[in-house]
Amino acid sequence: MADKITVPEIVKKKRRGEKISCLTAYDYSFARILDEAGVDILLVGDSLGCVVQGQPNTLPVTMGDMIYHTRAVARGCRRALLVGDLPFLSYQVSREEAVRNAGRLLQEAGAEAVKLEGGVVQRDTIEAITRAGIPVMGHIGLTPQSVHAFGGYRIQGKEKEARDRILSDAGAVEEAGAFAVVLEGMPADLAGEITAQLTIPTIGIGAGPDCDGQVLVIHDMLGLFDDFTPKFVKRYADLKKTMNGAVKNFISDVRERKFPGPEHSFK
């Protein structure tokens, strides 16, 4: 097995000019497959609200959900850095609650770092969590937990004022001690400017090619989820079609008495 990926290793990758790969995982089997394939970071994202639970957005996801899924992923994650998402309301109410919930993801679920959404407004919270020895990945731009404040999933930072706000968010996240930051849903040139300014790695999703790394939701990139497909998603497989075909074959084998055969039966 190649060397375990740690937080300092992720930071060094930026210094060495090596791109960072990150994918979401929500259970043991997927974690094993992605980890064995060599992905750098496994993120147990609160996107599980949409692709696993069938919710319209990430807001209903709870700490209980995150702990359950992060535990399952941790059992399958040997080499990748394991990052758990802090869900809506687990870190916005008070710094004390934020530190406790971040700590729960490490202590009860086996995460090695946590991710939370927000820049300038979360500066003190990021600082408090990192002071507790918990590595934090920031997340700025189109932050899905603010979907209602944005009025939908809209690209952020198109106008000068919004662009300046996101630049300040990026600076605040780095100053507060985050080891990396997700840049979501923003113009590619803005993400490039942030990436050039920060010493910590940027991980892009819908933020163009100049970020230090890229993240995708695994169900999107494998073609398992098609309720909606953002423009930034590249489909690397069409597993929904493959699964549909396999299930149809099973159904017809059962109906035609072709399964189980003697090789699947006991004497």
Catalytic residue numbers? 184
What does the alpha-carbon distance between residue 213 and residue 209 come to, in Å, rounded to a whole number?
9
Is residue 134 a contact residue for ligand KIV (CB under 6 A)? no
Contact residues for 160 (Cβ-Cβ < 8 A; gap 6+): none
Q: Which of 215, 219, 222, 223 binds ligand KIV (CB under 6 A)?
A: 215
Is residue 220 a contact residue for ligand KIV (CB under 6 A)? no
What does the alpha-carbon distance between residue 148 and residue 151 come to, in Å, rounded to a whole number?
5
> What's the min distance (Å) between Cβ of 5 and ligand KIV?
17
Q: How many residues does the chain have?
A: 267
Is residue 42 a contact residue for ligand KIV (CB under 6 A)? no
Q: Which of 13, 20, 40, 47 binds ligand KIV (CB under 6 A)?
A: 47
* Cα 148-151-153 angle, rounded to 5 deg: 90
Task: Considering only residues 140 through 179, tell me which ones interact with ligand KIV, judged by CB under 6 A.
Answer: none
Is residue 46 a contact residue for ligand KIV (CB under 6 A)? yes
Give the C-alpha distances (Å, rounded to integers) separating 122 from 32, 105, 116, 148, 169. 33, 18, 9, 18, 9
* Cβ distance to ligand KIV smaller for residue 13 or 139: 139
> What's the min distance (Å) between Cβ of 267 and ligand KIV?
48
What does the alpha-carbon distance between residue 127 and residue 124 come to, in Å, rounded to a whole number?
5
Residues that bind ligand KIV (CB under 6 A): 24, 43, 45-47, 85, 139, 182, 205, 215, 217
